[in-house]
Amino acid sequence: MIEKILEILPISLRDEAVKATAYAEEKHGGQFRIGGEPYANHVFRVAEAAAEHALAAEMPPETVRILAISALLHDVVEDTDATIEDVEELFGKDVARVVLALSHEDEDELDEIYLARVAEGGELAILVKRYDKLDNIVSLPQAPADFRRRKLSENREALPLWNRMDPEGAALIEELLKEIENG
């Protein structure tokens, strides 16, 4: 998975991507998703999808750097002992700004507040969140039935917010929700 990310990125960005990958893997070490998968696999998939998007959109190298590194680190402040200051020191202000926009303030934060902050974080924060959400939805069939039903319902309820923030992403999310609900 990491190799795929490195293949997508321009050569000039690969060293920093390796550093961010190692940091994410270290910080998420010992964490597992529902179903037993190492948590780091999730952030690697999100980064891969974001990098592929950047490549298809022909984004400039600096934008690709911010997007890919932010995707690798999108949960590190929220789910580990890393601080936003650590992220800024290691990867710069632009990455830290995106990671901060993506970090829930607490577990019970309302979608309206959280997604408004993501939107304020700009296009790159929105893109990382899109691919994070899509990967989270894809993992729902492996989740216990009660958790799956609750998350499907929460995602359905948030679709109007997504439509305002990211219409393209909202369509992808809705399509994926239908697939899982029907199947």
Which residues are known to be catalytic?
Answer: 78-79
Report DSSP state, residue 37. Answer: -
Rounded to 5 degrees, what are φ and ψ at 47? -65, -40
Query: How many Å apart are CA 86 and CA 114, to the nearest integer?
Result: 22
Contact 135, 80 (CB under 8 A): no
- Tell me which long-range contacts 143-150 makes (C-beta under 8 A, separation of at least 24): 143/34, 143/35, 144/34, 147/34, 148/180
Q: Tokens 């691919």 sit at which residue?
A: 131
Length in residues, the chain: 183
Query: How many Å apart are CA 74 and CA 64, to the nearest integer?
Result: 15
Contact 8, 48 (CB under 8 A): yes
- Name the amino acid, one letter, at 136: N
How far is it between the farthest Cα atoms of the chain? 46
